[in-house]
Amino acid sequence: MEKVTIKNITAQLLDIPIKRPHQFSAVKVSSKSFVLLKVELSNGIIGIGEGTTPGIFWNGESVETMKLVIDQYVTPLLLDQDPVLTEALLQKMNRQIRGNYFAKATVEMALLDALGKWYNIPVHQLLGTLHKDKIPVRWALASGTPEGDIEEAKEYVTSGKYDNFKTKSGKEAPEDDAKRSIRIAEGIRAHSTIGIDPNGSWDRLTSMKWMGDFFDAGIDFLEQPLPPQDVEGLARLAAMKKVPIMADESASTIDDAMRLAKADAADIFSLKIHKAGGMKNTIKVAGIAEASGISCFGGTSLESSIGTAACVHAYASIPNLDYGSELFGPDWLADDPVKEPVTIKDGYIYVPDKPGLGVELDEEKVSAYLRQ
Ligand code: MN
The DSSP annotation for 17-67 comes to EEEEEEE-SS-EEEEEEEEEEEEEETTS-EEEEEE--S-HHHHS--HHHHH
User: For the domain 126-350, what is the CATH code?
Assistant: 3.20.20.120
Q: Is 38 a known active-site residue?
A: no
Per-residue pLDDT at 155: 92
CB 16 within 8 A of CB 333: yes
pLDDT digits over 330-371, tens only? 999 999 999 999 999 999 999 999 999 999 999 999 999 999
Which residues fall inside 5 Å of ion ligand 1, going by CB?
Answer: 197, 248
Sheet of strand 348-350, all strands in order from the earlier edge strand to the far edge: 134-136, 348-350, 344-345
Per-residue pLDDT at 137: 97
pLDDT digits over 222-250, tens only? 999 999 999 999 999 999 999 999 999 99
22 residue type, one letter: H
Per-residue pLDDT at 168: 80
| pLDDT < 70: residue spans in the chain | 1, 23-26
Q: Examine domains 6-120+363-369 and 126-350 and report if their fold is the same.
A: no
CB 34 within 8 A of CB 13: yes
Domain boundaries, the chain: 6-120+363-369, 126-350
- Distance, CA 208 to ligand 1 centroid (Å)? 19
Cβ within 8 Å of residue 197, ≥6 positions away: 166, 167, 168, 169, 170, 223, 224, 248
Per-residue pLDDT at 1: 64
Model-level pTM?
0.95
Query: What phi-psi label fits residue 358: left (phi over 0), alpha (psi between -120 and 50 degrees) or beta?
Result: left
- Distance, CA 197 to ligand 1 centroid (Å)? 6
Per-residue pLDDT at 332: 93
- Distance, CA 60 to ligand 1 centroid (Å)? 15
- The topology under which CATH files domain 6-120+363-369 is Enolase-like; domain 1 (3.30.390)
What gap in Å lies between CA 262 and CA 121, rounded to an integer?
A: 37
- Distance, CA 30 to ligand 1 centroid (Å)? 19
- Distance, CA 10 to ligand 1 centroid (Å)? 30
Which among 32, 117, 168, 280 is annotated as catalytic? Answer: 168
Q: Is 132 a known active-site residue?
A: no
